[in-house]
Amino acid sequence: MEIPYTFAGLPPLPLEKARVAILPVAYDGTTSYQAGTRFGPQEIILASRFLEMYDESLGFEPSDLGIATLPELWPDLSRPEAAVNEVEKYVTKILKKRVFPVILGGEHSITAGAVKAFYKIYPKLSVLTLDAHADLRETYQGTRYNHACVSRRIMEMGIPTTIMGVRCIPSEDLPLLSPPLSLPPRGGGVGGGAKLKVIWAEKLKEKKDWLSLISANLTEYVYLSIDLDFFDPAEVPAVGTPEPGGLGWSETNRFLRRLAQKHRVVGFDVVELNGGLHHTPSSYFASRLVYRLIGLCNKKS
């Protein structure tokens, strides 16, 4: 039996023939706590080779959609901005081929590059981030492209931004939440004043219907960014910045199903797995999440 080193161990597929493309981004240039998220993509791909192809909750095999695994991207380390721009370039390449991009991180800062690429194709884009942290800092450790600034960079593009699952925030960010921060778009963006919505993790624990909390801030086209520290460290301990009090696999899956039913999720990333820790349950969790989302966002043809 042969299992290729591709996502889900699938036979290599050229981008032209795929419906879904996996872009592994091995980057952790600005990680503050425990470095090692650059090894996240390879750990997810390794674990994914042991997935069952039939997804019992979807009722089909997402592998049938045609999933291409692209070579791992090791971005330019000269400046954090260069890394973000490189991600933008590669995601643009995938979108131009009309293929659904799935970006594997790597640290969260790479999302800014992916979102830039999506926004050029989908002017009515909104971004939904699942994250324990709001990442709203203007600058951190000398760069505006730090992982702790990613949602701020997205808002500056003029894109409505929703962050849910937050349970750790610096006091300087609190004034941004009430009334919610609204930033004019830079560089002639068409999104108008971008709106911010932050939902605390505690709120998600109180309420079953998560979508009703955020749907007003979502548009027709949604880019989804999942920082794995959204989940409780009891389920996914191997992340760059673990934070107690997170959410679980089951309720999050129920939400993601509803989200994909009501909105067009045009691409997603799963970031912040600390692959350097080689924690099999976390890696497998991440690979299962990626595979499930591929199936939820791309209807069986």
Applying CB under 5 A, which residues contact Mn ion?
A: 131-133, 227, 229
Which residue, 86 or 229, has its beta carbon nearer to Mn ion?
A: 229
The nearest distance, CB 148 to Mn ion, in angstroms, is 9
The nearest distance, CB 263 to Mn ion, in angstroms, is 22
125 sits in the region (left: phi over 0; alpha: psi -120 to 50; else beta) called beta
Which residue, 88 or 131, has its beta carbon nearer to Mn ion?
A: 131
Which residue, 229 or 269, has its beta carbon nearer to Mn ion?
A: 229
Which residue, 41 or 158, has its beta carbon nearer to Mn ion?
A: 41
Which residue, 173 or 227, has its beta carbon nearer to Mn ion?
A: 227
The nearest distance, CB 170 to Mn ion, in angstroms, is 13
What b/e readout covers 230-265, taking b as 16+ CB neighbours within 10 angstroms?
A: bbbbebbbbbbbbbeebbeeeebbebbebbbeebeb
C-beta of residue 101 within 8 angstroms of C-beta of residue 139? no
The nearest distance, CB 218 to Mn ion, in angstroms, is 20
179 preceded by a cis bond (ω within 30 of 0): yes
Tell me the C-alpha distance between 212 and 34, whole Å.
35
Residue 18: which of 89, 101, 87 has the closest Cα? 101
The nearest distance, CB 96 to Mn ion, in angstroms, is 30
Residue 40: which of 198, 226, 170 has the closest Cα? 226
Residue nearest to Mn ion (CB): 133
246 preceded by a cis bond (ω within 30 of 0): no
